[in-house]
Chain A
Amino acid sequence: MIDLKDIRREFVVGDETVIALRDVDLQIGSGEYLSIMGPSGSGKSTLLNVIGLLDRPDSGEYLLEGESVTTLSDKRQAALRRHKIGFVFQFFHLIPRLSAAENIELPMILAGMDGARRKTRVTEALSAFGLSDRARHRPDQLSGGQRQRVAIARATIMEPHILLADEPTGNLDRHSGQDVVDILEDLNHHGITLIVVTHDPDLGLRAGRRITMVDGAVATDTGTAQSPPAGP
């Protein structure tokens, strides 16, 4: 499903070139639960951004569901992000002036879906994530756990195949963090490919397949063999 070949990404910081990804080769199958761990600056977030089409590699090839996406135009990449990829961030990134329901609705608005369909889907999502009584609340009136649930609802409302989570529990207390992990794993059980970048070993060790990165390269990979069977 995700096939990275010799992906290289360099940044110029001052007059020094930092290699964030050093010719990374990685295959991720559909429905996998993958965690990426490693120290700061090891390139794990860059890898996630390349997979999520937010960042372009300097060299190498990226096949998404068999299609080469490395050289696609901004517009085509945006369309792929819209329909195939969902993002969950450490800082939630909810739009402060919009209510919980409006934040969840946003991807469908951007995709040009008609109003009636949006309303039913938002209502379904709100109840699925236990947010029905919080629909009209703005982000600053929600707890951290509720905000991240709104963010996950927004990331999955377009029914993407891949869910990318960058430190999803990094800003949450233990209890709401556990809550969020349960939701993400539940989505994975229902078939979504889940990729989690984290510092937290407790979270990282839960994944079926675990990758550690050091200095822009994959250091260890437990391999797909240990991944739990996809789907229920």
Chain B
Amino acid sequence: MKLIDIIRFAGKAATGYPTRTVLMLLAMAIGVGSVVVLSALGEGARRYVIGEFSALGTNLLIVLPGRSETVGGAPPLLGITPRDLTIADAMALRTSSAIRYIAPISVGAAPVSRAGRERETTILGSTADLYPLRQLEMAAGRFLPPGDPERGEAICVLGHTLKEELFGSAPALGETLRIGDYRYRIIGVLSEKGQSVGLDMSDIVVVPVASAQALFNNPALFRVMIEARDRDAIERARKAVVRIIKERHDGEDDITVITQDAVLATFDRIFAALTLTVAGIAAISLAVAGILIMNVMLIAVSQRTSEVGLLKALGTPGRRIVTLFLAESAILSLIGAALGLVIAALAIWVMSLIFPQFPIAAPLWSLAAAVGVALFTGLVFGVLPARRAARLDPVLSLSRR
């Protein structure tokens, strides 16, 4: 028997009983559809988080004071508090050729007032390098000028929301603002860039880092943000940072360097695992579809008992009868899987219309996996009915109408 004839015969058998065929296709389509849609959601979440992290800047390293790792060994006799990171420490990093920008950061909150309006606001102390590093944009004026970071000028840059709240539509450039006990001249307003990972850049005041330290009366930096020259330089930059700071801190290795790559890789792994888990849960529905296929094929075999008997009388060996019934369940699974992909594509399209900012997309592997699993379950669950058909006694099956 030729392959094309096997397919045609099995296809005719499938279309010969429309109700059960439609039910089977529906079960398979729902199974495949849910696998694809759920993994697309997982993939979308992954892309969303990675997109957010990339908005932070590229090739980024963050230096934190203190070590976050616990190292074994006897506890120190005297409690060791980590040495502060200072502006001088940050500036010492300039010697490394792997580093492009260095932005020491000091953060605190202080009351900001102007003409009777007062508001508690986040104050961010930094240098001119923060501008390219965080990929900021100006709505008006300019950012902090480059210069000696140890010198605290009384100038500030306002976030977009804060400017609206304090000045409304009136121009703010050149005006003065009171932060804590000091007066600052406004030299720029940031454009609406929105939030990126935890810090709302539109609701802050940016001042020179030395000014912030004076304001909070604290010479320690909150952290130092560093941009490496390029992707390959990240590791060199990390090593340089650790080495330089260690030298300056009397050989004490008391900082933690987080690279953006490492953070991204961690999130990547978390979301990949999450996507797989969700897809795995959806795959249960494929197994259910497989059991339905088995059920329906068993009914098909008992409905077609005399047909099987006839096929045997016409000289079809048992093996060929197995092939015919397996071909039928394979065809049904494949068509069901194709329908499932169409349903999934529609669902993803609708979701992308409703949530345009969420980057939902079905990963290719999920398409292949869903169709593969569908075909596999169709065949596996088709074996039992097909074998039952092949074992039918032709004499008994032909003795009835």
Contacts and interface: CB of A to CB of B under 8 A. Distances in A.
A177 to B, nearest CB: 18
Contacts of B317: 74-75, 78-79
Interface string A74-97: 110011111101010101010111
Interface residues of A, number: 31
Nearest to B17: A97
Contacts of B309: 93
B313 A79 contact: no
Contact of B310 (A85, A95, A109): A95
A54 B309 CA distance: 9
Interface in A36-69: 45-46, 49, 52, 54-55
B391 to A, nearest CB: 11
Given A106-B314, A112-B2, A89 B319 contact: no
B1 A91 contact: no
Contact of B315 (A49, A78, A89, A98): A78
A110 interface: yes
B311 interface: yes
B255 to A, nearest CB: 77
A74 B395 CA distance: 14
Contacts of B316: 78, 82, 110
Interface string B132-162: 0000000000000000000000000000000
Contacts of B310: 93, 95
B395 A54 contact: yes
A204 interface: no
A145 interface: no
A81 B12 contact: no
A75 B323 CA distance: 14
Contacts of B1: 109-112
B2 A98 contact: no
Contacts of A109: 1-2, 5, 9
B320 interface: yes
A209 to B, nearest CB: 24
B102 to A, nearest CB: 78
A168 interface: no
B57 interface: no
B313 A52 contact: yes
A110 B315 contact: yes
B261 interface: no
A31 interface: no
Nearest to B3: A112
Contacts of A98: 12
B314 A81 contact: yes
Contacts of A97: 12-13, 15-16
Contacts of A216: none
A167 to B, nearest CB: 11
Contact of B318 (A45, A74, A80): A74
B394 interface: yes
Contact of A79 (B2, B315, B318, B399): B315
Contact of A54 (B5, B307, B312): B312
Given A81-B314, A111-B1, A112-B2, A95 B320 contact: no
Interface string B286-325: 0000000000000000000011011111111111100000
A51 to B, nearest CB: 12
Contact of B314 (A55, A96, A110, A112): A110
A96 B16 CA distance: 9
A125 to B, nearest CB: 15
B395 A110 contact: no
Interface in B311-345: 311-320
Interface of B: 1-2, 5, 9, 12-13, 15-16, 306-307, 309-320, 394-395, 398-401
Given A95-B310, A97-B12, A154-B314, 12 more contacts: A46-B395, A49-B395, A54-B394, A54-B395, A81-B312, A89-B398, A93-B310, A96-B16, A97-B16, A106-B314, A111-B315, A112-B1
8 contacts: A74-B317, A74-B318, A81-B312, A87-B313, A93-B310, A96-B16, A111-B1, A111-B315
Interface of A: 45-46, 49, 52, 54-55, 74-75, 78-83, 85, 87, 89, 91, 93, 95-98, 106-107, 109-112, 114, 154
4 closest cross-chain pairs (CB), A and B = A82-B315, A97-B16, A81-B315, A78-B317
